[in-house]
Amino acid sequence: MKKNLIVAALALGLAACFPEEGSVLSKAHADNAPAASVAPIQRGLPDFADLVEKVSPAVVNISVDQTIQADDDDGNPFAGDPFFDFLRRFGVPGPGPGFPPNHPSVPRTRQGIGSGFIVSSDGYVLTNAHVVGDSKAEVTVKLSDKREFKAKLIGIDRRTDIAVVKIDAGNLPTVVIGDPNSARVGEWVAAIGSPFGFEHSVTAGIISAKARRLPDENFVPFIQTDVAINPGNSGGPLFDLNGRVIGINSQIYSRSGGFMGISFAIPIDVAMKVKNQLVQHGRVQRGRLGVYIQGVDPELASSFGLNAPRGALVAQVEPNGAAARAGLKPGDIVLKVDGREVNESNELPRLIGDKQPGSKIKLEIWREGKSRETVAVLDEMPQEEAAQSPSGQDKGSRDKLGLNLRPLNAREAAQLGVPSGLVVETASGQAARVGLRNGDVILSLNNQLVTSPAQFRQLAEKAGKRFALLIQRGDARLFVPFKLD
């Protein structure tokens, strides 16, 4: 009897912990609970099987054979290796120049793999520019039904890392273009590509962030995901759960060379704008305002009288450029372009670049504590500013000198006490051999002040194979003799 009472008491105690629906405790808890503000969370993981079966036929494998010279890769003997190319693309250092010794300076063939997808039934294929290399490369497209075609390179845009190739075939399966702007952080996405040559491999994850800005990237608001991307995935499509392409898988962040949970895709709306121009004109035409800009932090916003940090601060105005003709001055803050707000400084190059040369734009700027409007007529962004022209013939000074440069911003120039200069972001090849280092500031070339990478290239080409650079390294200034091999 005593044992039964203990069991009954225990049962009552447990029942008190789990009140029945309609009980006083349950009702009180419900009365005090906050109102639901989001839709109920769905349990379980999505099934990608139907999606993959539907969209896979429009995904292709791309293989590339390219003949290159040894010195096309800054003297690194491993630069022709596909895995090294992948590591270099994503910022992983490789073996230095001169290892192993006696590396032959002879032409060799670089073989690469990548992915792409068909955007029109008559054979236009989208992929990454770094997958196809240049116009000298031989590109082969392999379809899901095992047919292979030699592809014609229609055009390359290295600023956005987009390339368009064409195969001679008809009635091809195509992808459906989605809207990356309506995609939300946290949504499931899937990638299909050829990692390490394993064709039509599927990986999945979620959107981690949107509108990411990467170093040296001014024209692409990347979609960040945690989808596994590896060598060979580049150029492949990123699908939403409706089977629509919302991006092109392009880059990863890695400290080891392998996937570490952070990958980046080019939004498909950016890619399609580039594709249309490459098909129609063979190149991409972009507007140019002619300013050097920097971000606006809370301290700068306060000093300029802005109620919040926003816009793009004009650090320098190019003489005779569109901004100069419109009356812009250093210290102006660009707040809007044709009514679209500029919340971050990196948004301005994209907004201007989307406009056609010669078009009129209305700028809202902040000057002397007041907002005012002005109209600018845009110039065209020179094609030679790209890392390499689509023809592959004009390699530019970066290839010859091994320098990646950016202008000093206004704050840096003030700290150094100089009117202008160029920061060495990377020094490789010949630049590294003459002793230039990352972080050096180039002040002049043959005693002529340098103000922009484009002007620096012009001075270097005019100077020939020998010239002297005045640089600032820390608190010291020194001349560096530069001799081209």
For 134-190, the pLDDT digits (tens) are 767 789 999 999 999 999 999 999 889 999 999 999 999 999 999 999 999 999 999
Reported as a pLDDT band with limits 50, 70 and 90, residue 38 is: low
- Residue 41: is it exposed, middle or buried by C-beta count within 10 angstroms (0-12/13-18/19+)? exposed
pLDDT in tens, 378-387: 999 886 433 3
Catalytic residue list: 130, 161, 234
Residue type, 319: P
Reported as a pLDDT band with limits 50, 70 and 90, residue 18 is: very low
- Mean pLDDT value of segment 344-356: 90
- State yes or no: pLDDT of 339 exceeds 70: yes
pLDDT in tens, 73-104: 444 433 444 444 444 444 444 444 444 444 44
Q: Please state, in angstroms and as integers, the Cα–Cα distance from residue 152 to each residue in 137, 140, 278, following that order.
A: 10, 9, 13
Closest CA to 286 of 350, 353, 342, 239: 353
9-13, 83-87, 202-206: segment of lowest average pLDDT: 9-13
Closest CA to 415 of 323, 334, 315, 329: 315
95-104, 220-229, 415-424: segment of lowest average pLDDT: 95-104
- State yes or no: pLDDT of 10 exceeds 50: no
* Percent above pLDDT 70 for the chain: 76
Q: Report the alpha-carbon distance of residue 82 to residue 86 in Å, rounded.
A: 6
Q: Report the alpha-carbon distance of residue 133 to residue 155 in Å, rounded.
A: 11
Q: Residue 269: what pLDDT?
A: 95
Q: What 3-state DSSP class applies to 82? A: helix
pTM exceeds 0.75, yes or no? no
Q: Report the alpha-carbon distance of residue 198 to residue 232 in Å, rounded.
A: 8
pLDDT in tens, 107-150: 556 678 899 999 999 999 999 999 998 767 789 999 999 999 99
Closest CA to 398 of 423, 439, 422, 428: 428
* Percent above pLDDT 90 for the chain: 42
Range with top average pLDDT, 70-79, 188-197, 311-320: 188-197
Q: Residue 24: what pLDDT?
A: 36
| Mean of per-residue pLDDT scores for the chain | 79
Q: Residue 43: what pLDDT?
A: 60
Q: Residue 387: what pLDDT?
A: 34
Q: Report the alpha-carbon distance of residue 356 to residue 217 in Å, rounded.
A: 20
Q: Residue 408: what pLDDT?
A: 87
Reported as a pLDDT band with limits 50, 70 and 90, residue 348 is: very high
Q: Report the alpha-carbon distance of residue 94 to residue 278 in Å, rounded.
A: 33
69-73, 146-150, 481-485: segment of lowest average pLDDT: 69-73
- State yes or no: pLDDT of 444 exceeds 50: yes
What is the CA 384 to chain-centroid distance, rounded? 19
Residue type, 218: N
340 beta partners: 337
Q: Report the alpha-carbon distance of residue 291 to residue 320 in Å, rounded.
A: 11
Q: Would you say 261 and 229 are in contact if contact means Cβ atoms under 8 Å apart? A: no
- State yes or no: pLDDT of 66 exceeds 90: no
| Greater pLDDT, 470 or 98 | 470
Q: Residue 464: what pLDDT?
A: 80
Q: 193: Cβ–Cβ under 8 A, 6 or more apart, which residues?
A: 59, 114, 115, 200, 201, 229, 232, 233, 234, 235, 236, 237, 249
Q: Residue 412: what pLDDT?
A: 82
CA within 13 Å, CB half, 135: 13
Q: 437: Cβ–Cβ under 8 A, 6 or more apart, which residues?
A: 424, 427, 473
Range with top average pLDDT, 294-298, 324-328, 454-458: 324-328
Q: Residue 29: what pLDDT?
A: 42
Q: Residue 432: what pLDDT?
A: 81
pLDDT in tens, 251-294: 888 766 667 889 999 999 999 999 999 999 888 989 999 998 88
| Greater pLDDT, 32 or 393 | 32
